[in-house]
Amino acid sequence: MTILTQSTQTFVQLNSPAAGTLGPSADLSLSELRALRARWLEEAGEILPGLRTIVHTLGSPAALPGWPLWTCWTFKRGDVKARLFEGTGEYMPSLRDYARIWTLSITTGDHQVVYYRSSDLDGLSEDNMFVPGRWQWLILNELSKAQAVYAARRAANEEGERAALLEELLIGVEV
């Protein structure tokens, strides 16, 4: 998986402490800012699955009071705090299930750098945002660990299911 695209890497390099700059210039026109936002959101699509895996796998889960079908996972590294909300929305007869909704919110210090919401019902939210920067490395450095934990949990679940089926089918028991 590609962690960063070329323009995002350039942004991160511009934001290195040695560069001493705050990223894109504040004198960009409205159309340039819209294009920059769209490009960053497009590039975010490359790393969002990894961010979700990290927060969901290594984060601390918590139920949301008053929202019984929702869970929030919180993952922190340094001053970066990521929260992943997952739950259900309206019933969708075509799927014979409830719409799945997820929202990823990441803040660094007092700044929100990611707000990304998607659902089976509405697709992507129009107010999604993604601001690349050094914060990414604090979280993305955990990706291989999260993938290993996920694989171990999946293997344990499969073995548990296998053991239950052996017992249910009376395998190894003379009947």
- Hey, which residues does 106 pair with through a beta bridge? 82, 114
Q: Domains of the chain: which residue ranges? A: 48-168
pLDDT digits (tens, 9 = 90+) for 62-85: 988 888 889 999 999 999 999 999
Q: Enumerate residues 6+ apart whose C-beta is below 8 A from 16.
A: 134
What is the percent of the chain where pLDDT is above 90? Answer: 41
Residue burial 141-175, b: 16+ Cβ < 10 Å; e: rest: ebbeebeeeeeeeeeeeeeeeeeeeeeeeeeeeee
Name which of 19, 53, 39, 26 is nearest 131 in CA terms: 39
pLDDT digits (tens, 9 = 90+) for 19-35: 444 567 788 999 999 99
